[in-house]
Amino acid sequence: MSVTRNITQGHTTWDIDVAHPRGYMRLSAIAARLLLAVVILTLIIILAGFAYYRSALALPFAAGAAVLAITNLYRVWSLNLSVTGAVKSGSMKALLKLQFMYLSRYLLTAAALIFVALSPHISIWGAIWSMATWPVAVFITKYLR
């Protein structure tokens, strides 16, 4: 028997399974939709890059998009993990964990962008377009059901 706790922020509701011993590894429904939206939007960006370049020049573009897509997938997982931890404990320790996870998400994004910018064989434009999938995926997940 699972016990769920609903957290509502605006129009977004998180259903967290607090009774599952490894509930932190499970993705909530909204996190799964966000993950799917990020993957689909990244694939659209990569296909658009192939359509634009029509040559082997699309491979560095796709590599840049893939690097930031992996970063975005970590951001979804990290967000789900921090919300789950905050729901379970609800203490000052959870607040510190939320702040650490928030900071780590943006530091990892900055590190990925610096890596792409300094790598001569990866296109920064693919990374920039892939970075734009995060707010679009959040909008799609939040408002389009």
Chain position carrying tokens 């995060």:
134
Say what the pLDDT of residue 83 is: 79
When divided into structural domains, the chain yields a total of 1
Say what the pLDDT of residue 44 is: 95
> How confident is residue 125, by pLDDT bands cut at 50, 70 and 90?
very high
For residue 98, being part of any structural domain is answered with yes
For residue 3, being part of any structural domain is answered with no
The tokens of 128 are what? 């920039």
For residue 2, being part of any structural domain is answered with no
Is 67 within 8 Å of 122 (Cβ atoms)? yes
Which residues touch 134 (CB under 8 Å, ≥6 apart)? 38, 72, 75
Say what the pLDDT of residue 85 is: 74
Which residues touch 116 (CB under 8 Å, ≥6 apart)? 64, 67, 68, 122, 123, 124, 126, 127
For residue 1, being part of any structural domain is answered with no
Q: E strands of 1-145, at which residues?
A: 4-9, 12-17
For residue 72, being part of any structural domain is answered with yes
Backbone angle region of 27, left / alpha / beta, with phi > 0 → left and psi within -120 to 50 → alpha: beta
Q: Is the pLDDT of residue 7 over 70?
A: no
- Between 47 and 91, residue with greater pLDDT: 47
The pLDDT tens digits for 26-49 are: 677 888 888 999 999 999 999 999
Q: Is the pLDDT of residue 119 over 90?
A: yes
For residue 47, being part of any structural domain is answered with yes
Say what the pLDDT of residue 22 is: 52
Structural domain harbouring 57: 29-143
For residue 9, being part of any structural domain is answered with no
> How confident is residue 60, by pLDDT bands cut at 50, 70 and 90?
very high
> How confident is residue 90, by pLDDT bands cut at 50, 70 and 90?
low
Terminal C-alpha separation, the chain: 28
pTM of the model: 0.75
Say what the pLDDT of residue 108 is: 93
| Nearest in space to 4 (alpha carbons), one of 88, 80, 79 | 88
What is the average pLDDT value for the chain, to the nearest integer? Answer: 82
Chain position carrying tokens 């082997």:
56
